Structure 1
Amino acid sequence: MTASGPGGTESVGRPHFVLASASPRRLDLLRQIGLVPDRILPADLDETPARTELPRPYVRRMAAEKAEHVAASLTEPALVLGADTVVALGRRILPKAENRETARACLEQLSGRRHTVLTALSLVPSAGWPEGRRSERVVETAVTFSRMTSHQIESLLDLGDWQGKAGGYALQGHAAAFIRFLSGSASAVIGLPLFETAQLLRGQPGHWLP
């Protein structure tokens, strides 16, 4: 693992730190707290929610399955971080917006309403590092959009940063101009709750973070 300490030196002799995600946002967030994964191995899994599956169990399951899938493929000592984020309206999971129509439907439902963003973390050690500890956390954040006109929604869609985003928006994107309330972790809404990630890593054997 490569981790810069207060003096700028690198930690050595640690198991590999592996990110089970290709998300550039998660990579940037890890770098923000001085962590650079040794490897990035996205887990190619079916992310379809089970029928009647609620948001919290779903996001927890997906983060764990991603980390487990990658950890099982490794023989070297490693610690794998899996994460998943969902946008929920009550008991309903909003989809990731893969096209403009889906993004529009999500934004129309979120307009003027409070919703919940849940991000789950899962740390899973590989079989090559038996000293490692499995740990997980689910972080819940409340977000409220102002009421948006049809013209404002179409303007957001034209800007394009909804693509591939849960609920059809990105907090770090243009939709931030319409978010009037947030209670919880902003970094979790972006894709990785930094405080909770750091806490879980500090609970692992060895000096992962100061």
Structure 2
Amino acid sequence: MTVKLYLASASPRRKELLTQLGYDFKQFSVDADETQFADEHPITYVERLARLKAQSGVDLGYQDRPVLGSDTIVVAEGKALGKPKSEADFKAMMSMLSGSTHQVMTAIALATSQRVLSKTVITEVSFKPLSEQEIEAYWHSGEPHDKAGGYGIQGQGGRFVSQLKGSYFAVVGLPLYETDELIQAFMADQDE
């Protein structure tokens, strides 16, 4: 039986990754409030957003198949780094990531009107020390503007990565192994 899904994300990267898994899916975007609550732990935050996106899809009427939601955050020094709000914000992020190891947390959630199943994948990413010129040039490439933590590992930002422990695909935005496992577990439970 072919598994049919909805992908509640406008991300072309997530679309490409889900396509690699071979599932039959339709993509749409949801408008979710991504504000982090005061004192909300990064893992709780990213998982809440993935669940919110999946459930928002269900609430919008996408109910004839499960809805997959996902969110990715970069965590440095215990703080979740969102998309850079300005060049100064970006430079502050890059200075924090330069020459150190940070975590990338990607949460995935599958929802129907009856239930939600979710999982969070944590990957450790180490950056080489970055010069001001490298940071400046990267900002002007345009790539960091819409990326959590201000970089895309699958693009020019990949040149800064000296080491990775965990899932490369989770850093891109959708962990293939864990997403496939989650979908299979969700569908197996549904058949019972």
Question: 2:104 maps to what in 1?
Answer: 117
Report the Cα offset of residue 36 of structure 1.
4.3
2:17 to 13, 29, 32: 29
Normalised TM-score (structure 2): 0.91
Normalised by the length of structure 1, the TM-score is 0.84
User: Is the aligned partner of 1:134 residue 2:110?
Assistant: no
Partners of 2:9 and 2:29 within 8 A in 1: yes
1:54 to partner: Cα distance:
1.4
Residues of 2 paired with 1:204 and 1:56: CA distance?
21
Please say if residues 171 and 189 of structure 1, whose CA atoms lie closer than 8 Å, have aligned partners that are also in contact: yes
Sequence identity (%): 37
Taking the TM superposition and a 5 Å limit, the aligned residue runs for 1:113-192 are 113-125=100-112, 127=113, 134-192=116-174
Give the C-alpha shift of residue 100 in structure 1.
Answer: 2.5
> Is 1:50 aligned with 2:37?
yes
Give matches, 1:74-93, under 5 Å. Answer: 74=61, 76-93=63-80
Maintained 8 Å contact 1:71/1:78: no
> Is 1:59 paired with 2:41?
no
SS in 1 for 2:118: strand
- Equivalents in 1 of 2:187, 2:70: separation in Å? 21
Query: How many angstroms does 1:59 deviate by?
Result: 0.3
Asked if the contact 1:98–1:164 (Cα under 8 Å) also holds between the matched residues in 2, the reply is no
Q: Structure 2, unaligned stretches of length 5 or more?
A: none
Task: Structure 1: give runs of 5+ residues left out of the alignment.
Answer: 1-10
More helix by share: 2
The correspondence of residues 96-107 of structure 1 with structure 2, limited to 5 A, is 96-107=83-94
SS in 1 for 2:148: coil
Q: CA deviation at 1:75?
A: 6.0
CA contact under 8 A between 1:145 and 1:181: conserved in structure 2? yes
Q: Distance in 2 between matches of 1:154 and 1:122?
A: 36
Amino acid at match of 1:81: L
Cα separation, partners in 2 of 1:98 and 1:36, compared to 1, 3 Å: farther
Q: Which structure has the larger Rg over C-alpha atoms?
A: 1
CA distance in structure 2 between the partners assigned to 1:45 and 1:64 by the alignment: 10
Alpha carbons of structure 1 residues 158 and 36: separation in structure 2 relative to 1, 3 Å: farther
Which segments of structure 1 move beyond 6 Å, counting only runs of 4 or more? none
1:149 Cα deviation from its structure 2 partner: 0.8
- Aligned partners of 2:54 and 2:110 also within 8 Å: yes
